[in-house]
Chains A and B, each alone.
Chain A
Amino acid sequence: MSKVLIVAEHSGNQLNQSTARCLSCAREIDPAGADVVVFGSNCGEVAHQAAALEGVARVLTVEREENQAALAAIIAPQLAVIAADHDYILGPSTTFGKDLMPRTAALLGVGQVSDLMAVTGPRQFQRPVYAGNAIVTVEVPEGLKVVATVRTASFKPAAEGGAASIVPNQVAAELPAHTRFIELRTGGGDARPDLQTARIVLSGGRGVGSGENFKLLFALADRIGAAVGASRAAVDAGFVPNDMQVGQTGKIIAPEVYFAFGISGAIQHLTGIKDAGLIVAVNKDPEASIFQVADIGLVADLFEVIPALDKKLG
């Protein structure tokens, strides 16, 4: 049996890439591999995708009508039961994992290592604090289960090539009736690459000026196969929906290339892009702090740069 258990994140029929990233983290804890647990009302497809990842020992499925929407209050008591024999329980540091894992940790009577970014010992880990302006090394005392959310931008997704067995499970946990799922409203940008997995991300800030102007960014993104993100100021101003926000309170991403257009570079934004391979900044203010972290900086008006890039890169 594996020491490490990973909670799969999925949409019902598609395994989220965060699970493969958690697996890479798990293998730094135990190279032998990890179990993956899938909660859902119909886990078949997702379980097969998880079983195909290299390093998965077993895929445990917990099928139940109540598990259709991943409500923390419903999943946590089941996860606490499934995790009884594991020493490490990992979930992704996405809104799914952030909601579920602390509730589970409390049920197990242990703390949680949030945003685990590096494994520095069997029970020793690093994680960012103060919006990434400091890194702490923490240790979980011997004899306690380690519950963690994994900072997905810090780990590469595990490759495919596994053929783990899929083991259906029954969990005799009593589930509360006090929490009901109503609906999920998505931003609707389904045709574009996902912000969290895209190779290239183009982000716009307050400098973009309006939702209408964001179309310039979308057009360029579509031409080069990029995802589109935004600063908090752009989301707060209503230019684009909340699921596009990058930063401390938005998404933490690690694309190969990140373009920041009209973004000043507040620390809360920068914490979301620190692991980008290359940061390109376009801002008309030469003093903007984004230039202190940019690999390539251009002082210019974004309304001239974006159409020009569209022509030259097309």
Chain B
Amino acid sequence: MGENREWNVKKIMVCLKRVVDYNVRIRLRPDGSGVVTDGVKMSVNPFDEIALEEALRIREGGSPVEILVVSIGPADCQQQLRTGLAMGADRALLIESDIQVEPLIAAKAILKVIEREQPDLVLLGKQAIDDDCNQTGQMLAALWQRPQATFASKLEIVDGRATVTREVDAGLEVINVDLPAVVTTDLRLNEPRYVKLPDIMKAKKKPLQTESLASLGIDLEPRIRVLKYEEPAPRQKGVMVADVDALVAALRDKGIFN
């Protein structure tokens, strides 16, 4: 974090999604209606954790910034919001919903909160590791009519503008955007801190507000219907070879090298 920086970010909103922990080997429900989540470890989406870490670092590098964490989903999402508060967010908002919330609906819900809260920066993961959609940040930026800087691996804020380094297929792209803006985070932006026990205790006293998704007055009709979940086609069992000669022979056998 540089010194002498002119700070103009006063409020940062971070979106946290509750997902099946990335270490869990998922199982499908027998009727193909989804994945088994009963008794399965749930966590904050790793990309969103990075988003929150970045917000904390912005605060630690300068003047006071209020950090609000927001989640959309069932009442259990309070656990993930508490994790966010324990990491250092100031307050939390749960938009409660028992229906599957697709990215467009999530974006509309977040926009409602933005209109009320007026954050200078919205940070969220580039994708959630459950549906792997990679849409919400971009959709939010479109509806909000503000800049988007997706797949961020570096973020610098100076004079009401953010310079963002983005991980793209060709390498690293640097763009500069006016604030407020939406920034979606990639894995190399930072390494999130571990939550310590005293912080968990402190987080219990921080405000966590709940309101229902239905009360926001947005259209909840899904634009995409999910019909069924299936196992991916398995790859055929391969062979083990004993040494490099056997490897080369096997490759030649497959017609790869002549």
Q: Which residues of A contact B (CB under 8 A)?
A: 11, 71-73, 76, 94-96, 98-107, 110-115, 124, 128-141, 144, 176, 178-187, 196, 200, 224, 232, 235-236, 241-243, 248-249, 251, 256-257, 267-268, 274, 278-280, 282, 291, 293-300, 304-305, 308-309, 312-313
Known contacts A96-B169, A294-B238; is-contact A135 B151 (Cβ 8 Å): no
Tell me how far the C-beta of A272 lies from the nearest C-beta in chain B, rounded to whole angstroms.
12
Closest approach, in angstroms, between the C-beta of B255 and any C-beta of chain A? 10
Interface residues of B (CB under 8 A from A): 20, 22, 25-26, 28, 35, 102-104, 107, 126-127, 129-143, 145-148, 150-151, 153, 163, 166-178, 181, 186-188, 222-232, 235-236, 238-248, 250-251, 254, 256-257
Question: Which B residue sits closest to A121, measured CB to CB?
Answer: B227
Q: How far is the CA of A296 from the CA of B251 in the complex (A)?
A: 9
Q: Say whether A114 contacts B169, CB under 8 Å.
A: no
Q: A134-B229, A243-B170, A295-B238 are in contact. Are A178 and B132 (CB under 8 A)?
A: no
Tell me if A181 and B175 are in contact (CB < 8 A).
Answer: yes
Known contacts A128-B232, A178-B177: does B139 contact A105 (CB below 8 Å)? yes
Of the residues B129, B135, B172, B243, contact of A105 by C-beta under 8 Å = B135
- By a CB distance below 8 angstroms, the chain B residues around A295 are 235-236, 238-239
Interchain CB contact under 8 A, A134 and B28: yes
Given the complex, which residues of A lie within 8 Å of B146, measured CB to CB?
A: 178
Instruction: Give the CA-CA distance A185 to B229 in the complex, in Å.
Output: 40
Question: By DSSP majority rule, is chain A's interface helix, strand, loop, or mixed?
Answer: mixed
Residues of A within 8 A of B138 (CB): 72, 98-103, 106
Distance, CA A98 to CA B168, complexed state (A): 10
Q: How far is the CA of A304 from the CA of B169 in the complex (A)?
A: 32
The contact of A305 among B145, B172, B236, B244, by CB within 8 Å, is B244
What separation, in Å, do the CA atoms of A242 and B173 have in the docked complex? 12
Given A103-B139, A242-B172, does the pair A232, B187 have CB atoms closer than 8 Å? Answer: yes
Contact status A224-B26, CB under 8 Å: no
Q: B interface, by DSSP: helix, strand, loop or mixed?
A: mixed
Once A102-B103, A183-B173, A242-B153 are accepted as A-B contacts, the answer to whether A135 and B226 lie under 8 Å apart by CB is no
Please give me the residue from chain B that is nearest to A117 by CB atom: B232
A11 CA to B171 CA, complexed, in Å: 13
Whether B129 and A130, one on each chain, are in contact in the complex, defined by CB atoms closer than 8 angstroms, is yes
Query: Chain A residue with minimal CB distance to B191?
Result: A236
Question: In the bound complex, what is the Cα–Cα distance between A177 and B138 (angstroms)?
Answer: 17
Contact status B224-A113, CB under 8 Å? yes
- State the CA gap A282–B147 with chains docked (Å): 44
- Residues in chain A near residue B178, CB distance under 8 A: 178-179
Residues of A within 8 A of B28 (CB): 134
CA–CA, A153 to B22, complex, Å?
Answer: 24
State in angstroms the CA–CA spacing of A26 and B221 once bound together: 27
Nearest to A114 among chain B residues (CB) is B133
Known contacts: A94-B169, A134-B232. The answer to whether A298 contacts B247 by CB under 8 A is: yes
Residues of chain B contacted by A278 (CB below 8 angstroms): 254, 256
Given A110-B104, A141-B225, A313-B248, A129 contacting B130 (CB threshold 8 A): yes
- Which residues of chain A come closer than 8 Å to B143, judged between CB atoms? 106
**A230 → B minimal CB distance (Å):** 13
Closest 8 CB pairs of A and B: A111-B223, A102-B138, A106-B142, A106-B139, A102-B135, A295-B238, A186-B171, A182-B174
The reply to whether B20 and A187 form a contact with Cβ atoms under 8 Å apart is no
- Contact present for A184 and B172 (CB under 8 Å): yes
B residues in contact with A104, CB < 8 Å? 142
Q: Kindly report which residue of chain A lies nearest to residue B221, judged by CB atoms.
A: A141
Q: List 29 A-B contacts (CB under 8 A).
A: A73-B141, A96-B168, A98-B134, A98-B138, A99-B148, A99-B150, A104-B142, A106-B140, A110-B104, A111-B102, A111-B223, A129-B130, A129-B131, A130-B35, A130-B129, A130-B130, A135-B231, A139-B225, A140-B224, A140-B225, A178-B146, A179-B175, A179-B177, A184-B171, A280-B251, A295-B235, A296-B247, A298-B240, A305-B244
Instruction: Select the residue from A98, A138, A299 with max chain B CB neighbours within 10 A.
Output: A98
Task: Using CB atoms, name the residue of chain A closest to B172.
Answer: A185
B174 and A299 contact, CB distance less than 8 A: no
A224, B168: Cβ atoms closer than 8 Å: no
Residues in A whose Cβ lies below 8 Å from that of B242:
298
Given A111-B103, A141-B223, A305-B244, check contact A136 B229 (CB 8 Å).
yes
Residues in B neighbouring A129, C-beta threshold 8 A: 130-132, 229
- For residue B19, which residue of chain A has the nearest CB? A130
| Residues of A with C-beta under 8 A to B231 | 134-135
Whether B171 pairs with A72 at a CB distance below 8 angstroms is no
The answer to whether residues A182 and B227 also contact, given A105-B139, A243-B170 and a CB cut-off of 8 A, is no
In the assembled complex, the Cα of A76 lies from the Cα of B28 at a distance in Å of 36
- Write out the residue numbers on chain B whose beta carbons fall within 8 Å of the beta carbon of A95: 150-151, 166-169
Q: Write out the residue numbers on chain A whose beta carbons fall within 8 Å of the beta carbon of B133.
A: 112, 114
CB distance from B128 to the nearest CB of A (A): 10
By the criterion CB–CB under 8 Å, are B26 and A134 in contact? yes
Q: How many whole Å from B169's CB to the nearest CB in chain A?
A: 5
Cα–Cα distance between A294 and B238 once the two chains are bound (Å): 6
